[in-house]
């Protein structure tokens, strides 16, 4: 997982998972640009290889920087190809380049905010065993392979909304409602949604808004870049038609590389678009990914919209109130609906 590289100030530790995207991505995309069949083979094998690596690390409960490294380097390399191969053709205005650059900067700023503290609960300091410090037997219980405490009882003291608190057997602390334990980070997070491998961090109460902003700005920037490139490489055709039928795409290597990068961006954008869609639906029903997973496990939720969203019904207060609560995440006190007040 790590290696040491000699440097001026001494040996520097380098995570091995950072290296493959820097080497393999340009090589594979340039190989795919040599022929349409090679492009089909490479672009079909990349998602399969990523899924295999994801399930391998997820099963071993390991954190990896490969997905974050791949995402950041893909942005940099796509931007480089756009400036090197597409802009010199003269069909892209400077204002369009500026708009694409601003979208990229906005996405990176939102991504840096999403990488911040997701809302980790403070870890209690170790104390000497005593009858007062130890929790009662009603709190004690084993924990399943997902890191969720089971066999616990509700705490007698409840929050103002009447929602109880749970005891985390891993962190040895009482966590508020909707908080959960991440088995990859080894910490409890307020309003835990899920652990995102693309940012190598949890998505929780403090960074969920930034996560949605990063996804949204990525979608807009990526679609805009794809449109500009197809308008340049495949003149006279709409972007959707040009994506599947562009006779001059392999007339020269520059056009072939640009067209291959467009397809790579389209595949990544489709995957991120699905993630964004699920996130927006969950917010509309005020349910987190963790709550949806637990509801499916315990068979306590309703499948809606063809199974795209699992409505637990516990926190759903209507579309407007759900979004109002999401937009007020991290503020104190959280917004409450008029119907709840009445």
In this predicted structure, what is the pLDDT of residue 119?
A: 92
Candidate ranges 9-23, 33-47, 111-125; pick with highest mean pLDDT: 33-47
The tally of domains found in the chain comes to: 1
State yes or no: pLDDT of 7 exceeds 80. no
Does some domain include residue 144?
Answer: no
Spatial contact of 272 and 298, defined as CB atoms under 8 Å apart? no
Tell me which residue of 248, 251, 254, 223 sits closest to 235, measured CA to CA.
248
**Residue 114 counted as domain residue:** yes
pLDDT at 337: 60
pLDDT attached to residue 136: 44
- On whether residue 143 sits in a domain, the answer given is no
Q: Is the pLDDT of residue 131 over 90?
A: no
Domain that holds residue 37: 28-121+196-328
Distance CA 223, CA 262 (A): 10
Percent of the chain scored above 70 by pLDDT?
A: 80
Pairing outcome for strands 12-15 and 2-5: antiparallel
Place of tokens 């995402």: 71
200 in any annotated domain: yes
Q: Which residues are catalytic?
A: 196
- Residues 190, 204 contacting (CB under 8 angstroms): yes
- Tell me, yes or no, whether 299 lies in a domain: yes
101 in a structural domain: yes
* Nearest-angstrom CA–CA distance, 98 and 96: 5
Q: Minimum mean pLDDT among 120-134, 228-242, 248-262: which range?
A: 120-134
CB count in 10 Å sphere of residue 25: 19
Which pLDDT score, from 0 to 100, does residue 164 have? 46
Asked if residue 265 belongs to a domain, the reply is yes
How far is residue 39 from each of residues 43, 243, 244, 275, measured CA to CA in Å? 6, 13, 13, 25
pTM, two decimal places: 0.82
At residue 10, the pLDDT reads 56
Mean pLDDT of the chain: 83
Is residue 151 situated within a structural domain? no
**Cβ 149 vs Cβ 169: under 8 Å:** yes
Q: What is the pLDDT of residues 155-187, one digit of tens each?
A: 333 344 434 467 888 888 888 889 999 988 888
């Amino acid at each position: 997982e790590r290696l040491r590289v000699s440097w001026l100030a001494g040996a520097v530790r380098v995570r091995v998972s950072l290296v493959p995207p820097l080497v393999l991505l340009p090589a594979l995309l340039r190989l795919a640009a040599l022929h349409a069949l090679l492009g089909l083979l490479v672009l079909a094998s990349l998602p399969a290889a990523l899924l295999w690596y994801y399930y391998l690390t997820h099963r071993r409960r390991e954190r990896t920087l490969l997905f974050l490294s791949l995402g950041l380097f893909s942005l940099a390399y796509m931007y480089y190809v756009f400036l090197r191969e597409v802009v010199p053709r003269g069909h892209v205005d400077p204002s369009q380049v500026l708009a694409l650059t601003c979208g990229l900067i906005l996405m990176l700023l939102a991504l840096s905010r999403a990488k911040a503290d997701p809302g980790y609960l403070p870890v209690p300091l170790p104390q000497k065993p005593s009858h007062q410090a130890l929790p009662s037997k009603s709190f004690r219980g084993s924990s399943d392979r997902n890191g969720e405490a089971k066999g616990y009882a509700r705490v007698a003291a409840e929050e103002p909304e009447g929602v109880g608190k749970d005891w985390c057997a891993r962190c040895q602390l009482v966590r508020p409602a909707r908080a959960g334990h991440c088995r990859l980070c080894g910490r409890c997070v307020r309003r835990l949604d899920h652990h995102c491998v693309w940012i190598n961090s949890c998505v929780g109460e403090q960074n969920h808004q930034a996560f949605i902003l990063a996804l949204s700005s990525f979608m807009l920037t990526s679609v805009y870049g794809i449109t500009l490139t197809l308008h340049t490489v495949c003149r006279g055709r709409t972007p959707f038609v040009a994506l599947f039928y562009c006779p001059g795409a392999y007339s020269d290597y520059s056009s072939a590389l640009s067209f291959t990068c467009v397809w790579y961006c389209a595949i990544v954008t489709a995957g991120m678009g699905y993630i964004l869609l699920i996130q927006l639906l969950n917010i509309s029903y005020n349910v987190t990914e963790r709550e949806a997973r637990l509801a499916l496990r315990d068979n306590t939720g309703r499948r809606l919209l063809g199974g795209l969203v699992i409505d637990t019904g516990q926190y759903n207060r209507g579309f407007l109130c759900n979004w109002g609560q999401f937009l007020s995440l991290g503020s104190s006190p959280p917004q409450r609906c008029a119907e709840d007040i009445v």
